[in-house]
Amino acid sequence: MDASLVDPRDSGPLAGPAARSRPTSIVLRMSKPEAPTATTATTGTTATTGTTRIIPARTAVGFDARRGQVLRIVDVEGGQVCDLVAFRLDDLTEWISNGRSFDSGSKILFTAGDVLYSNKSAPMLRIVRDDVGHHDFLLTACSPEMFRVQYGVTGHHPNCLQNLTAALADKGVCEHLMPTPFNVFQNSTVESDGRIVTKPPLSKVGDAVELLVEMDVSIGLSACSASLCNGGHTKAIGYELR
Ligand SMILES: [Zn+2]
Q: Where are the domains of the chain?
A: 3-241
How far away, in angstroms, is 181 Cα from ligand 1 center? Answer: 9
**pLDDT at res. 150:** 82
How far away, in angstroms, is 122 Cα from ligand 1 center? Answer: 26
pLDDT in tens, the chain (242 residues): 333 333 333 333 333 333 333 332 222 222 222 233 333 334 344 444 458 899 999 999 999 999 999 999 999 999 999 999 999 999 999 999 999 999 999 999 999 999 999 999 999 999 999 999 999 999 999 999 999 988 889 999 999 999 999 999 999 999 999 999 999 999 999 999 999 999 999 999 999 999 999 999 999 999 999 988 999 999 999 999 99
Note whether 94 and 100 are within 8 A (CB): no
**Distance separating alpha carbons of residues 213 and 9, to the nearest angstrom:** 27
How far away, in angstroms, is 55 Cα from ligand 1 center? Answer: 13
**pLDDT at res. 12:** 34
Q: What residues does the ion ligand 1 have nearby, CB within 5 Å?
A: 142, 160, 224-226
Q: With CA atoms as reference, report the closest residue to 19 among 240, 235, 166, 229.
A: 235
How far away, in angstroms, is 171 Cα from ligand 1 center? Answer: 21
How far away, in angstroms, is 164 Cα from ligand 1 center? Answer: 10
- Amino acid letter for position 82: C
**pLDDT at res. 200:** 97
